[in-house]
Amino acid sequence: MSDLDDVSEFSRPGHVDAAIRRLQGLMRRGRKVSLINLLAAQGYDDIKDFVTEMGEGVFKPWEIEALTLLHPLVFIASFPSDELDASAIANTPTEYEYFTCCVDTDTGEVTSVFLKDRRLLQFLGSNY
C-alpha cells in the first residue's frame, strides 16, 4: 500500500467533526436525544432495524438521523446502583476517550456514558 492509500489518519477526527456539525444543525430549539433511546438502540447494528422494531411513527425524522449519527460515537451502560460492583467492566469499550456518569436519585439507576468526543454530551438528554 502506498502512502497515498493510507487515509486512516484523516478518517476518524473528520468523521466526528462532521457528525457534530450535522448534530448542531439538527438539535436547534433545544432538542436532545434521549439516553434511554440511545441505550436501547445499542443492541442493533443498524438503527433502521431499531426504528422498525419500535414501530413506524415512534421517532421523528430528526431523531432517527441523530440516533444514527450518535450510535457509533457514544456507548451507554446502565446499572441499578446496588449492582455497581458487579457491573465492573466486562463490556468496557476501550476505544472511547471520555467518560461520565450520573445517578438517578429516585430510582438509584446509574448511567455511564462513553464518548468519542466530549462535545457530544451537549446532544444527550438529561433524563438519566
Partner 1 sequence: MSDFDDVSEFENPKYFTIENFYSMVEQLVEETGHALDVTTLAFAAVTSAEECLENCNDALQHKVITKQEYDIYLLANRLGLFEVTSSSNSIDPVSVPPNKPYFCLANVYANEILIIFMKDKELSDCLDFSALA
36 binds partner 1 (CB under 8 A): no
Residue with Cβ nearer partner 1 (51 or 110): 110
For residue 44, what is its C-alpha cell? 442493533
Q: How far is the CB of 60 from partner 1 (least distance, A)?
A: 26
75: nearest Cα among 22, 35, 105: 35
Pick from 102, 107, 125, 127 the residue near partner 1 by CB under 8 A: 102
126 binds partner 1 (CB under 8 A): yes
- Please report, to the nearest 10 degrees, the dihedral formed by the alpha carbons of residues 24, 8, 50, 78 taken in order: -80
Residue with Cβ nearer partner 1 (9 or 106): 106
Count interface residues toward partner 1 (CB under 8 A).
30
127 binds partner 1 (CB under 8 A): no
Cβ 39 vs Cβ 76: under 8 Å: yes
For 104-116, b/e burial (b = at least 16 CB within 10 A) is eeeeeebbbbbbb
97 binds partner 1 (CB under 8 A): yes
Cβ 62 vs Cβ 104: under 8 Å: no
For partner 1, the binding residues (CB under 8 A) are 79, 81-82, 84-85, 87-90, 92, 94, 96-103, 105, 108, 110, 112-115, 118, 121, 126, 128
